Structure 1
Amino acid sequence: MDRTPDWIAVDWGTSNVRAWAMTAGGEALAEATSDKGMGKLSPPDYEPALLDLIGGWMDGPIRVVACGMVGARQGWVEAPYASVPGHPLPVGLTLAPTTTPGLSFGIIPGLAQSDPADVMRGEETKVAGFLARNPGWDGVLLLPGTHPKWISVSAGEVVAFRTSLTGEAFAALSGHTVLRHSVATDAWDDDAFLAGVAEGLARPEALMNRLFALRAESLLSGLTPAKARARLSGLLIGTDLAGARGWWLGARVALLGAGDLMTPWRAALTSQGVAPEEADATEATLAGLTEAWRRSQ
């Protein structure tokens, strides 16, 4: 790196942490990653972990703006939730206690919804970055992952959101229930996935029965692991889509994610006549962190 950064952006998750040396114009000069996520640290461990990551970039006082689980109750310091509806980046950052001279570490608050109860921490920064790159965009953002989120945005604000356990349920069912015997493969069948999506959408109330039917069909009808695994995913995503029908039906929808996480959701939405726009999650995160840095000047 040929120059000293003007500030540092950090995305600190449960498992990993990513940092970028940034210019005032929002250009990333360098990137560093570590596996020292929130799940491995106690509050006194954060500053040493940070310095291991960014110490080579520091040449005098430096300001760090961070998002993610570093601001959770179990993180470095809790950054209180801001309420929706509202801007995805409320004014003000929560400062973490530091002992390194010249080091300032500010954490972006998460967002909370009271009825129905829901929270997000880290996703608000992606939303802010997406909106910064797409001024005036109104519609519904879908963030796939372990806990998929549907986020309604209008006039530059988060109006409401809903989170599900769809990704975590797939991992639990395929790895820790009787279904593990039927889905033990990395292979995939697109037709079986779409059949599961259609079934989950049509009869979400029958999900529990249809899940067990996967095991029964593998025993009685020779259902292959590839078909069973794909249909399991389809059933869960289809049921998620059924619950969120009022969010995506007839709406402008954008998928905000990365890599293989996007593929099944894209296929499921497309099967229902939705042509989702797409944006990269890392690019949105970095744009959101930049927006937070500018708003906190």
Structure 2
Amino acid sequence: MSNRWIACDWGTSSLRVWAMDGAEVLDSAQSGRGMGTLTPGEFPEALAELLTPDWHGPVIACGMVGARQGWVEAPYASVPCSALPEGLTRAPGDRDVYIIPGVSQDSPADVMRGEETQVAGFLALNPGWDGILCLPGTHTKWVHVSAGEIVSFKTVMSGEVFALLTKQSVLRHSMKDDWDDETFAAAVADTLSRPERLISDLFALRAGDLLHNQPHARSRLSGLLIGAELAATRAYWLGQQVAVIGADALSRAYVAALGAQGAPATQAKGDAVTLAGLTAAWRRWKDPK
């Protein structure tokens, strides 16, 4: 059997694909045609646009492509469960496209799609690792992993709230690209110690800009929100081994925030663990024994 296949990470706002030969990347492509921009009937075309004739083999996909609004709904595996749940869902159409299941939690209710593949990839690269994985993004996931399984997890909407406030609220007028690490760290400490003040501290960003031309509002806003997130997830990260998986700049911010609270965290590259997770899923598909 050929070792050629296609890895696919299909999120809400983007689509990324890699031409693979076993675990080796031969080529890659991406587009902005994420799940949120497509109707179910448009998924085959969006994928075909990125694939050249020399890309061969089945497509192993993760992410929102398997959501209810995606190409086809893939089921959820309930925690506690393997980071790489059994049973791929085949998408309708002429091409062999298989979608990795998401993971759900009954109480408190929570779901993930795509992050489970990153968890599986991290564990494939770090066998025997136990602890907490933080996956920052639009909806940040805090995942408790033990003995190769996802035990529990919590989703925090800090990323989406940050995007809404910086793009659609009155605070957008005070957002400048003047990042400052000290301002960020101070804001994290502020909401960790007094999270109940967050809702009033937000407007102070606008007032401080208007009255005193205070700089670094973006840094402070990010710190306020991440500080509130750390306060809400303290039971996950306090006293635990923590690794942060995601985009470099955002992951560094989380690592810095955790480190300031005496919780040193390691950082892993999101692309690397995503590919490792998709590769693990392909290997299971190829040899299900």
Whether TM-score is above 0.5 comes out as yes
Contact 2:6/2:55 (8 A) holds in 1: no
SS at 2:240 equivalent? coil
| Alignment partner, residue 18 of structure 1 | 16
| Alignment partner, residue 162 of structure 2 | 170
Matches of 2:52 and 2:45, distance apart in 1: 9
* Cα displacement (A) at 1:223: 4.9
Is 1:271–2:260 an aligned residue pair? Answer: yes
Matches of 1:119 and 1:57, distance apart in 2: 36
Contact 1:20/1:30 (8 A) holds in 2: yes
| Alignment partner, residue 247 of structure 2 | 258
* Cα displacement (A) at 1:272: 1.0
* Cα displacement (A) at 1:45: 1.6
| Alignment partner, residue 281 of structure 1 | 270
Is 1:214–2:214 an aligned residue pair? Answer: no
- The counterpart of 1:190, out of the listed 171, 177, 181, is 181
Matches of 1:37 and 1:115, distance apart in 2: 29
Matches of 1:270 and 1:30, distance apart in 2: 37
Deviations 1:84-130 (A, max 9, x none): 1110111110001113xxx3110001111111111110000000000
Deviations 1:138-183 (A, max 9, x none): 00001111111111100000011111111111121222222223x3
| Alignment partner, residue 73 of structure 1 | 68
Structure 1 letter corresponding to 2:66: G
| Alignment partner, residue 131 of structure 2 | 139
Matches of 2:255 and 2:281, distance apart in 1: 30
Q: Quick one: structure 1 residues 175 and 44, their matched pair in 2 at CA, closer, same or farther if it must change by over 3 Å?
A: closer
| Alignment partner, residue 85 of structure 1 | 80
Matches of 1:30 and 1:247, distance apart in 2: 38
SS at 1:53 equivalent? coil
Matches of 2:237 and 2:141, distance apart in 1: 12
| Alignment partner, residue 191 of structure 2 | 200
* Cα displacement (A) at 1:54: 1.8
* Cα displacement (A) at 1:261: 1.5
* Cα displacement (A) at 1:58: 4.3
Is 1:98–2:93 an aligned residue pair? Answer: yes
* Cα displacement (A) at 1:13: 1.3
TM-score normalised per structure 1:
0.91
Matches of 2:164 and 2:33, distance apart in 1: 24
Is 1:294–2:283 an aligned residue pair? Answer: yes
* Cα displacement (A) at 1:219: 3.8
Contact 1:112/1:118 (8 A) holds in 2: yes
SS at 2:179 equivalent? coil
SS at 1:153 equivalent? strand
| Alignment partner, residue 225 of structure 1 | 215
Deviations 1:208-254 (A, max 9, x none): 1222222333344x15131x222111111111001111111110000
Matches of 1:49 and 1:176, distance apart in 2: 29
Structure 1 letter corresponding to 2:275: L
Aligned length: 285
Gaps of 5+ in 2: none
Contact 2:255/2:266 (8 A) holds in 1: no
Percent of aligned pairs sharing the same letter? 57
| Alignment partner, residue 38 of structure 2 | 41
Deviations 1:191-218 (A, max 9, x none): 2211111111001122112222223333
Matches of 1:112 and 1:57, distance apart in 2: 37
Structure 2 letter corresponding to 1:46: F
Q: Quick one: structure 1 residues 295 and 5, their matched pair in 2 at CA, closer, same or farther if it must change by over 3 Å?
A: closer
RMSD of aligned Cα (Å):
1.6
Q: Where do residues 237-252 of structure 1 align in structure 2 (5 Å cutoff)?
A: 237-252=226-241
Structure 1 letter corresponding to 2:108: P
